Amino acid sequence: MSQNEACADCDPAPASTLSSSSAQPASKAVMVDAAGGSTSTFGTLSSPEKAPVADLAEAAEPSHAASSAEIRPPAPSYPHITIEFCDRCRWAPRATWTQTELFLTFPTPVLKGITLLPLTSPETGGRFRVWVDMGQGGELVWDRKTEGGFPELKILKQRIRNIIQPELNLGHSDAGGKFKS
């Protein structure tokens, strides 16, 4: 899809309100750590009015633990799930609902984390994909475009279970066969 073509799957306007001086929407990823329950957002500012580094350093309170140059986001633990979704289609609520359901079904220590990855480029219009990473690279579990729609959570949970913990009984989600997918 070229830059000038409109996305057939979503509204060309970004889901969040952007200033008229902003050329492109920001790309960000949200990581939720199952063990600590903390949420971190990683990304870039979309506005050209970025704060100078010196101004940020003056505004920051002194830290006794480590300097800001030493602070790094936590490395993902495995198994780890990534949910990619088109932010222009306003699928953040569906992605967060899926994330919540997966954390309830696969609590720590079975599942170490889930990353929500909102996408805004024309090439990723209409995307909703779920990946499972066991530490050897991600395995695609669901792709809305190739599967013909959004995942039924029962099927998605079975597919993820078959990868991360095949012996796990999913209760009512296993009705109709434990290894059906």
Count structural domains, the chain: 1
Would residue 127 count as lying in a domain? yes
Would residue 64 count as lying in a domain? yes
Q: Report the chain's mean pLDDT, rounded to a whole number.
A: 75
Contact 114/105 with Cβ under 8 angstroms? Answer: no
- Entry pTM: 0.60
Region of residue 160 (left: phi > 0; alpha: psi -120 to 50; beta: else)? alpha
- CATH number for the domain that contains residue 71: 3.40.30.10
Would residue 169 count as lying in a domain? yes
Would residue 13 count as lying in a domain? no
- Domain housing 106: 28-174
- Under the banding of pLDDT at 50, 70 and 90, the label for residue 51 is very low
Would residue 149 count as lying in a domain? yes
Would residue 180 count as lying in a domain? no
Please tell me the predicted confidence (pLDDT) of residue 17.
46
Burial 151-161, CB ≥16 within 10 A → b, else e = beeeebbbbbb
pLDDT in tens, 133-166: 999 889 999 999 999 999 999 999 999 999 999 9
Would residue 128 count as lying in a domain? yes
Would residue 130 count as lying in a domain? yes
Mean pLDDT value of segment 2-17:
58
Please tell me the predicted confidence (pLDDT) of residue 114.
95
Mean pLDDT value of segment 54-70:
55
